[in-house]
Structure 1
């Protein structure tokens, strides 16, 4: 069957009681499985808020959340016939799909971020590898602690999360509520101070 045009951003409309909604969604899924595009539009209208909310809780970023939501509804259009009433309610089935899609997005973004970080560390920003290696293998822990104490509080938080917490720049930024460029600047300045303190050339 042809794929319908996916509706725009989620429509924030209130639905009726959950039991009535699930009954309505079951009927719509049967029609969607038969290729009914109006049923698909109705299904989207009734559930888009919930799907977007689930994606937003996992992904935080609104654009990524909207992309993930669109993927969820494409899966609904293509796989409505796979819905099994005996296995659970339509909402539970839909939320499971939404959660999985959001997690898949997280993993895809994380993989891309990791690749970028590895490339950047090897080609443009060797400070991270040098300091992490020297601090972790060649220098005593006491010296590392002492030198971390010379950093500003914000630099310490950023460096600890990045190098001892294993977080990416993006994750550090989200954790501290700052922009990614700001976090990169903090970490770079912190690393320069550490290099000076630790005597890393």
Structure 2
């Protein structure tokens, strides 16, 4: 919903005075956008935030903020892939004394992707046997892939002329056997 919320704000920018990223430091609620500051630990939240860096969202935030401020999306100088997902299924059972979070059944098990492309291309998302391929235009495209089995996430951009990119984020592994009920998003972006 990250990109969809921004699109709604941008579509209504003439009626909205200001947008503020209010969840910068909500580490315990997994809503943070910036880097985790290792010297300043949020009490009782390390189990949910360590290893879940959300810094990649900052570039996507800046892209949309520019459009909100000016009314025009910035030119895309290079292809980028932004990926995020929980690392565990919402209905999985874990040996966790805290139990499942409230409203766990509202979540969906998808790999979410936003792709910024300089030119049209075929985008492929894969996690084990779950895979999808989309022909998308230049600009921003939103994609999603269901996640069902243990797997590692990969993404690629391919063009007829042989150009493109392959992205396999380190540590982005979906597991059907979670050690705890961690609903934090693993976020990654191509360089």
TM-score norm. by structure 1 comes to: 0.20
Which structure has the bigger radius of gyration? 1
Q: Which has the higher strand share?
A: 2
| TM-score normalised by the chain length of structure 2 | 0.21
